[in-house]
Structure 1
Amino acid sequence: MPRGAPPPNCRSLLHCHYQTLNHLQQLHAQAITQGLLSCHQPLSCRLLNAYARFGRSADARRLYGQIPFPDLVSRTSLLSLLLQDNRPWEAAHVFSQILLCGMKPDGFSVVGALSACAQMGDAALGRAVHGLIYRHGLGVETVVSNALIEMYCRNGRIGNARQVFDAMPMRDGASWSSMLNGCAKQQGLWVAHRLFDAMPEKDVVSWTVMIGAYVRGGHPVRALELFHKMNLEACRPTSITVVGVLSACADAGALDVGCSVHGLISKTMPNLDVAIHNALIDMYSKSGSLETADAIFNRMRYKDVYTWTTIISGLAVNGEGHQALEVFSDMLRSGTCPNDVTFVSVLSACSHSGLIHEGRLWFDVMCTHYNFKPQIRHVGCMVDLLSRAGLLSDATDLIDRMGIEADAVIWRSLLSACLVHGDAKLAEAAGRQIIRLEPDDDGVYVLLWNIYASANRWDEAREMRKMMRNRKIVKRPGCSWIELNVIPSFAMRTTLRGLIWNCEIRKLEYRTI
């Protein structure tokens, strides 16, 4: 046998194919019993890489600690596993060990390091890795440039991301999609759309990114227009695209279009995943079609926490507080653990239905049993619940006791309740807080003026008028959305035939061909 060659048993283990996790664990046990791990490094590294492919991070980390001199592939595999486990700091430490050992990083390792920088939000470390990439000549790889763009965009360095993007000799769909997403978040939708129009070829990912950006930016009609154009170009949507489109239908209240999308995916996507079912429940419940939403919910075999939260939120929005609490009880009996968003929906259901005792009970259960620290959304729901019931002093005590600075939404709920229950003093205090937080809100100035005028406090009323003039605040006109001539079709040849925005001082018309 040649000098330095592995023993026969070790050679056979090196050439084994780990088809199942059970097979891998058997080979690992055989290597341990024969004492091969400590004396043969390639075998140990290959076992570690196999555990990484199976996603067994704990086993991989345990084996990594037993390898005296792990190679670059093993270190990179461990780095990727740590990123999957949401442990970017440890992943960055593994990358630093690669450099300290004098190893030259490859494209896979620097991509992992950049992903760690993106997750940590550490732009300075990302720039250091960028310099390392330039020094070793790794920037010509498209996957490395894509990771750089993603890292800079997630850290808010859109200018640096654009420099990397412009310098790329070859761009793929991931390059354009990352840049589109970054522009939409940092520079606005119109800049992103100009970049989208400049794309030589648009794939489903780029269409999905733009549709999602318009939905998040509060432009659901524009998102539906993009989906219409996407269908005209015969680009088949993915499940992520459909979720974004259904969210746009929910925000725009376009029930007919949502039904059309439902029919489209029922025939083109026979196996709908949980995310699409959740989006359908959200769309139908927000559009007032609770029976359809409830039917979809009952037909689902597997329900995750988002499914339960979506149906509870839909019932709460439509004023079905008692039914929402019944569904929440079914959720707890099913063994599904609620999250903080679930409790927002539950407290909102109590608020809309005036269930004071139930709201206080579940708020205490959230804090004591589930150990959730109340966030501003939970406090806002409780303040709204107590304010609607006329318990204004309890609402203000809760704000003080929670130690959370109330936002304008909470003060606005308190202000509305004060006007209903005739507490002018607290209404004045709430109004002043809203002006401090949102000085451009025209409605609060008018409300305070009415309060002062009703109490014959004309000096304060004139002060409100003067403040509005000095800050150049003009009362905004009311508006309404009317859906016209919407003809749902299987192929979505018409998404929105027309939406007219009627205002007191202007008329804007949005049309889709």
Structure 2
Amino acid sequence: MNQRLKSLLNKYKNHEKIIKKLHAHAITLGSLSTHQHLASKFLNIYSLLNRPAQAQNIFNQIQQPDIVSWTCLMNHYLNIDKPNKAISIFSQLLVNHKPDGFSAVAALTACGRFRDLRNGRAVHGMVIRFELCDEPILGNALIDMYSSNGDALRAKTVFDVMGVRDVVSWTSLLNGFVKCDDMDSARQVFDEMPVRNAVSWTGMIVGFVRGKVSVCGLELFREMVGDGGAFPTEITVVAVLSGCADIGALDFGRTVHGFVSKSVLVRDMAVNNALIDMYSKSGSLESGLEIFHGMGCKDLFTWTTTISGLALHGKGRRAVELFGDMLATGLTPNIVTYVAVLSACGHSGLIEQGKLLFKNMINSNGMKPTIQHYGCMVDLLGRAGCVHEAIELIECMPMRPDAVIWRSLLSACLGKGELNLAEIAAKKIIELEPESDGVYILLWNIYRNANKWDDASKTIKMMRSQKIKKKPGCSWIELNGIVHEFLAEDSLSSIRPDMYIVLKTIINESKPDTNILFF
């Protein structure tokens, strides 16, 4: 009969109502307390169904849980994102059992997710003591655990002593360096990999984009879909589209959109959300809105991304209207959604709408405003010239204002000539961000506009005395699908001859009376 139950469990594992009936039948027969493999099967299925109470209840019915049952329970808590609970269960397992490879992997995974290096090193010691090191899966888990805890050097040491390395081992090490923001080492591992899969390509692309080296990520994606031998996942595409959005690579983004439209990824909500974000940030708002209106199912992120796009393009009224449409669907806005719509009000001068939304966020939805929401309101009031109202709001904040808020106030003072408030804001910014170059430049502009040249000169001298240099500007240009990056401090020798000729022509025609020397 137990074999019959196992067969039925395998057949109907995706049908929750049937599983509950089989569970009740198993309890009637007393099978769960005496047949641990059957109990483990139920335990795994309830874990997949995200039913923690039922899973724990099944485990409690087992009279003497074996190591398989304990490991199933650990994996259950990992599945519902409670790694600290999984670590606790591993400690209980050790009372009556020696760890095996599977339980050690679960424990290491938990220590990685919970950022528990101390217990992770203890598990590593058990792996050595009980001679479990020959399992490649354990080596991969160790690499991931150390990487997640920021110890890339020890992760590399584990990799170097592994007897057998598979593609997962290489990818785990690569992703470890990516997690530690060491892209040079990650690139070295990537270049040395005997075999690359979609995960390794994606890891490199995500690392470059996250590290604000999006041009490198886009070039790597071009290689991947060219002769890389791996098909991009939704994570790959979302990362690439995010990179396009960061540098405004519209043509490249359109190419990625064309690639997506010919694959199953066209139905992926995260990919469509990333497309909306890419088009909005790359100057093609209408293309983003077209995708938005063409989506049958929209989640909160879809609405929020679209509202942010409208805000970015100064379409505040449309953003507020879309916010109302979202509320009509029954979705509840989160703190990010409110940041988007408040930002839209600020960019379009919708003072009263912004104040009302801020009030409703607190009174109707019971949200506590974060520092980002206060920043939006200070920016809204500052842009509208209500500088004194902005400083009153800052003084009433329940948290300490950050440099972003003071910078918004300083920018507002630039337009209104409020020297006293500008000096207060500048002092606060310097206290919070002593190496910031922007505050000195803004303050210099305020003094210059007020014809206070002595104070303007003192500001520049102060900047130089602190050895603060203006960060070089950076720009990108996309030509024939290839993105070129330029820094303000690039030497002329790094510019291609044809680009140099065009640049010289533009400068000469735009400033015909200026003496410019070219070498």
- Unaligned 5+ segments in structure 1 are 1-8, 487-494
Decide which of 484, 491, 513 is 1:499's aligned counterpart.
484
Q: Quick one: distance in 2 between partners of 1:297 and 1:187?
A: 34
Aligned residues: percent identity?
A: 51
Alignment of 1:139 onto 2:133: yes
Equivalent position of 1:435 in the other structure: 430
Alignment of 1:19 onto 2:11: yes
Matches within 5 A, 1:167-316: 167-235=161-229, 236-269=231-264, 271-316=266-311
- Code of the aligned partner of 1:114: L
User: How far has the Cα of 1:483 moved from its partner?
Assistant: 3.0
- Code of the aligned partner of 1:202: R
User: How far has the Cα of 1:311 moved from its partner?
Assistant: 0.7
Q: Quick one: distance in 2 between partners of 1:349 and 1:397?
A: 22
8 Å CA contact retained: 2:249, 2:282? yes
Using the TM superposition, name which of 463-472 and 404-413 deviates more: 463-472
Equivalent position of 2:478 in the other structure: 483
Decide which of 338, 343, 348 is 1:348's aligned counterpart.
343
User: How far has the Cα of 1:13 moved from its partner?
Assistant: 3.9
Going from structure 1 to structure 2, the CA distance change for 1:366 and 1:30 (only over 3 Å counts) comes to same
Q: Quick one: distance in 1 between partners of 2:136 and 2:365?
A: 46
8 Å CA contact retained: 1:45, 1:71? no
Q: Quick one: distance in 1 between partners of 2:485 and 2:449?
A: 37
Alignment of 1:126 onto 2:111: no
8 Å CA contact retained: 1:18, 1:50? no
Going from structure 1 to structure 2, the CA distance change for 1:166 and 1:371 (only over 3 Å counts) comes to farther
Going from structure 1 to structure 2, the CA distance change for 1:179 and 1:363 (only over 3 Å counts) comes to farther
Q: Quick one: distance in 2 between partners of 1:509 and 1:172?
A: 43
SS in 2 for 1:482: strand
SS in 2 for 1:499: strand
Equivalent position of 1:382 in the other structure: 377
Equivalent position of 1:70 in the other structure: 65
SS in 2 for 1:380: helix
- Code of the aligned partner of 1:85: I
Going from structure 1 to structure 2, the CA distance change for 1:509 and 1:115 (only over 3 Å counts) comes to farther
8 Å CA contact retained: 2:105, 2:137? yes
Decide which of 419, 423, 429 is 2:418's aligned counterpart.
423
- Code of the aligned partner of 1:52: S
SS in 1 for 2:172: helix
- Code of the aligned partner of 1:317: L
Going from structure 1 to structure 2, the CA distance change for 1:396 and 1:171 (only over 3 Å counts) comes to farther
Alignment of 1:103 onto 2:88: no
Q: Quick one: distance in 1 between partners of 2:140 and 2:27?
A: 41
SS in 1 for 2:477: strand
Q: Quick one: distance in 1 between partners of 2:463 and 2:402?
A: 21
Q: Quick one: distance in 2 between partners of 1:478 and 1:51?
A: 54
User: How far has the Cα of 1:35 moved from its partner?
Assistant: 4.5
Going from structure 1 to structure 2, the CA distance change for 1:282 and 1:62 (only over 3 Å counts) comes to same
Q: Quick one: distance in 2 between partners of 1:482 and 1:227?
A: 18
Going from structure 1 to structure 2, the CA distance change for 1:40 and 1:453 (only over 3 Å counts) comes to closer
Equivalent position of 1:335 in the other structure: 330
- Unaligned 5+ segments in structure 2 are 498-519
- Code of the aligned partner of 1:57: P
- CA-to-partner distance for each residue in 1:116-170, whole Å, 9 max, x for gaps? 2122211111111111111112222122121211111111112221111222222
TM-score computed with the length of structure 2 as normaliser: 0.87
- CA-to-partner distance for each residue in 1:225-249, whole Å, 9 max, x for gaps? 1112223324322222111111111
Going from structure 1 to structure 2, the CA distance change for 1:224 and 1:97 (only over 3 Å counts) comes to same
SS in 1 for 2:262: helix
8 Å CA contact retained: 1:312, 1:327? yes
User: How far has the Cα of 1:454 moved from its partner?
Assistant: 6.0
Q: Quick one: distance in 2 between partners of 1:391 and 1:118?
A: 49
SS in 2 for 1:30: helix
Provide the aligned C-alpha RMSD in A: 2.6
SS in 2 for 1:301: coil
